[in-house]
Structure 1
Amino acid sequence: MFFALLTWQVLVSGPLLTPDAALSRALVRTVPDAVTERLADLGNVPVALPVLLLALGCALWRGDRLGPAAAAVAMAVVPALIVPLKEWTGRPGPLEPWAAGYYPSGHTATAFVAYTGAALLVRPYTRVPWPTALAALLTALTAAGLVLRGFHWPLDVLASLLLCAPLLIGVRWAVGRAPIRRTPGIS
């Protein structure tokens, strides 16, 4: 529901865009571009997708079929959701008002689904919460890099997280249905 509200605000240039722009102005380029560009790159497909593919392979090797299938479908759905929304909303960028297609953030969606999907796939085979914490950290770093560099408005990033959360809930459900096979000595 909150995603629908944000999308409506973007479409009608509603009042939520004022604090969004103010927050963006306060944050953009407060960290050197060389740092924020690297952080934003964590959401690139060539960076994030191999992490998910590795976790898919691990889960398949362990005998899980439903979890990897759900994670692969979730990742495939990301561009199917994001690209039409970018076209429909046509939101300009923080530093490129002449360009359009910034809402929602594809890099944030890619990072969130790839890293969290990977964490959900490997988490049943570990005894520590590090996969989930690492996924949250990588997604947060991606989002911060995108906003701090001026590649996206804060609401673009938030919208992607809200849009992709149901996909990951589906992955979590699918992973929970698989039997857990732990390898001795692996934590």
Structure 2
Amino acid sequence: MGDFRPGPPQLRPGRALAHTTGASGSESPHRSDSRPPQTPRGGRPADPDGRPGTTPPVPGRPTSFLWPFLALPALLFAVITWQVAADGPLLRLDTRLSRALVHPDRASELLADIGNVQVAVPVLVVVLVYVAWRGRATGTDRWWLPPLAAAVLMALVPAIVVPFKELIARGGTPAVPPGTGYYPSGHTATAMIAYGASTLVLLPWLRSAYARRGAVILCAALVACVSFGLVRRGYHWPLDVVASWCLGTVLLASLRLFLGRFRSDPPTFS
């Protein structure tokens, strides 16, 4: 009873309070007896993207910004398809633009060939094999999922494009032989998915921000070259290419959302 004092307890030499800032007084929030915290990391609330972690949530891979890349291109694709099928006023602008841009030459033909299945798909296969090998070699969880998802997406391209070609049956430009089945552009869609999916699955394995930025720029440049070559050579109307841009954007955004939800990150590089 002689030790009773009305004030707060005093720290005495050689003794530690239960709630000091750490065993060594280093301002660490951990327990002084080095035991783990009562709430495990896995039991804490998830962040907005569904990743288990801390509260407040740590920065993660935001996915909500991708939803406009699904809705807006899908709406634009629907509008363009309606205009082409109904021979709407947008086709008159398309015809004038094509007349101004078409100038067949060897360079435009070579650029258009970058979108050939024989060129774009082997590039995708090489990237998928590399990503699968790296994932398995480093013990990444579900290493097979990104390559498989990208391969399935590539297989979906003809399954989506060919029915539209048959249904719309749009004729070609004056620079190509008479025929139908030019809408949407299969070369543009092939290039977007092959090079875009390659970039998406490869990005986590690139060490620096410069390499990742360079991969995205290279992908965009390849798709732009194919698109320009197709219109310049007269293989497609401009709206055929724009429609495939919309379709490819929807497919790639879907792949990005899928990978962001289910994939496990590879080991981080220093």
**Quick check: TM above 0.5?**
yes
Name the larger-Rg structure: 2
* d(CA) in 2 for partners of 1:97, 1:91: 13
Could you tell me the TM-score, scaled by structure 2's length?
0.65
Deviating beyond 4 angstroms after TM superposition, the runs of 4 or more aligned structure 1 residues are none
Q: Considering fraction of residues, name the structure with more helix.
A: 1
From 150, 159, 162, the counterpart of 2:246: 162
Indicate whether 1:28 and 2:102 are aligned: yes
Kindly provide the amino acid, as one letter, of the partner of residue 9 in structure 1.
Answer: Q
Counterpart Cα distance in 2 of 1:156 and 1:178: 37
**Contact 1:67-1:174 within 8 A present in 2 as well:** no
8 Å CA contact 1:70–1:170 kept in 2: the answer is no
Tell me how far 1:179 sits from its aligned partner: 1.6
Task: Please show how residues 1-187 of structure 1 align to structure 2 within 5 Å.
Answer: 1-29=75-103, 33-63=105-135, 64-95=143-174, 96=176, 98-126=178-206, 127=208, 128=211, 129-176=213-260, 177-181=263-267
Distance 1:181 1:51 in 2: 25
Q: What CA RMSD, in Å, does the superposition of the two structures yield over aligned residues?
A: 1.5
Q: Is the 1:44–1:107 Cα contact (8 Å) retained in structure 2?
A: yes
Q: Which residue identity is paired with 2:256?
A: R
Deviations 1:124-148 (A, max 9, x none): 1112211111110000000000000
* Runs of 5+ unmatched residues, structure 2: 1-74, 136-142
For 1:98, give the aligned amino acid: P
TM-score scaled by length of structure 1: 0.92
> How much identity, in percent, do the aligned residues show?
50
CA distance in 1, matches of 2:105, 2:268: 43
Secondary structure of the structure 1 residue equivalent to 2:171: coil
Higher RCO (Cα < 8 Å, 6 or more apart): 1
Give the deviation of 1:62 after TM superposition: 2.2
Tell me the number of residue pairs that the alignment of Structure 1 and Structure 2 aligns: 182
